Chains A and B, each alone.
Chain A
Amino acid sequence: DTAVSQTPKYLVTQMGNDKSIKCEQNLGHDTMYWYKQDSKKFLKIMFSYNNKELIINETVPNRFSPKSPDKAHLNLHINSLELGDSAVYFCASSHGQGLGEQFFGPGTRLTVL
């Protein structure tokens, strides 16, 4: 069974469109994250949710809106997509915040044309 899953794996879209990426974890973790990995492979945290509550909200354009319907899901909605949004987006989860090792999903490669 996949621990952290993301859909879709690839997403190609035009500038200005709105898209969503879904994430689900079956590990029973209470904390979930979204990361962005750019073309230089730099991995940067975007959001963190603990028990469906937003904990970390790094400097991210408000076009990005995370939604956590329950502890096992954290979806990422992106409005008015821009070229600079092209990257690989990773979802992760952990037990508690801080020290807990994070389990990452396989990533979603977003390409904005």
Chain B
Amino acid sequence: SQKIEQNSEALNIQEGKTATLTCNYTNYSPAYLQWYRQDPGRGPVFLLLIRENEKEKRKERLKVTFDTTLKQSLFHITASQPADSATYLCALGSGNQFYFGTGTSLTVIP
């Protein structure tokens, strides 16, 4: 069965630095990948979508890469701020199938 892993459950970085979160997957060939943000006590909020034929996507301070050879997506937040502290989830999909990763809790330290 498919397996989706995100790097370390928790990641702490200093304000102003770039946060890099990793999403690795096995036994699956997704047609697209999405990243969501989840704050405590709330539902996930969509951030970015990247398709299998795209290498990189950007949105303001966010950047996502998708390497189907390595079976990996990297999610970058540049010039991180304390307000970026949250849990970030990657989600892979193909057709009607859709699976979330384990999530990474990011803390940006002032």
Contacts and interface: CB of A to CB of B under 8 A. Distances in A.
A103 interface: yes
Instruction: Tell me the interface secondary structure of chain A in the complex.
Output: strand
Given A41-B87, A42-B103, A99-B32, A92 B96 contact: no
A107 B38 CA distance: 12
A101 B31 contact: no
Contacts of B42: 106-107
A97 B93 CA distance: 10
A57 B103 CA distance: 23
A41 B103 contact: yes
A84 to B, nearest CB: 19
B34 interface: yes
Interface in A1-54: 4, 33, 35, 40-45, 48
B41 to A, nearest CB: 8
Contact of A98 (B87, B89, B93): B93
Interface in B31-65: 31-32, 34, 38, 41-46, 49, 51
Nearest to A33: B98
Interface of A: 4, 33, 35, 40-45, 48, 55-56, 90, 92, 97-99, 101-107
